[in-house]
């Protein structure tokens, strides 16, 4: 079960990390370049491409954080840190 979970997690991460550039880069920029061919005026919507391009670095790590179980637990604070550190000794 553990190997199957890891395998499915590591197959989903590249899938979603491939979808992000498609929706944040290629489709908006493709629409921006093909709109003049079809005589579509998108002057007021052209700024959206810049915002989506700038949003990508902030959105890029999210699939990893929500798909990989260890990162998801750490993100939601489900890791019990009290059992990780048993004893701490201080020497002077």
For 38-88, how does the pLDDT look when each residue is reduced to its tens digit (9 = 90+)?
999 988 888 989 999 999 999 999 888 888 888 888 877 776 666 666 666
Grouping H, G, I as helix, E, B as strand and the rest as coil, residue 84 is coil
* Confidence (pLDDT) at 84: 63
Instruction: Of 10, 4, 23, give the one whose Cα is nearest residue 68.
Output: 10
pTM score over 0.75: no
Instruction: Provide the 3-class DSSP secondary structure of residue 6.
Output: helix
**Domains of the chain: which residue ranges?**
2-76
Residues 6+ apart with CB under 8 A from 20: 56, 59, 60, 63
Mean predicted confidence (pLDDT) in 17-35: 92
């Amino acid at each position: 079960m553990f190997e199957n979970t890891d395998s499915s997690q590591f197959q989903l991460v590249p899938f979603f990390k491939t979808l992000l550039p498609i929706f944040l880069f290629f489709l908006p920029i493709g629409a921006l370049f093909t709109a003049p061919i079809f005589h579509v005026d998108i002057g007021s919507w052209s700024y959206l491409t810049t915002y989506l391009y700038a949003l990508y670095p902030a959105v890029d790590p999210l699939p990893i954080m929500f798909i990989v179980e260890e990162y998801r637990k750490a993100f939601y604070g489900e890791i019990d840190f009290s059992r990780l550190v048993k004893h701490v000794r201080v020497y002077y």
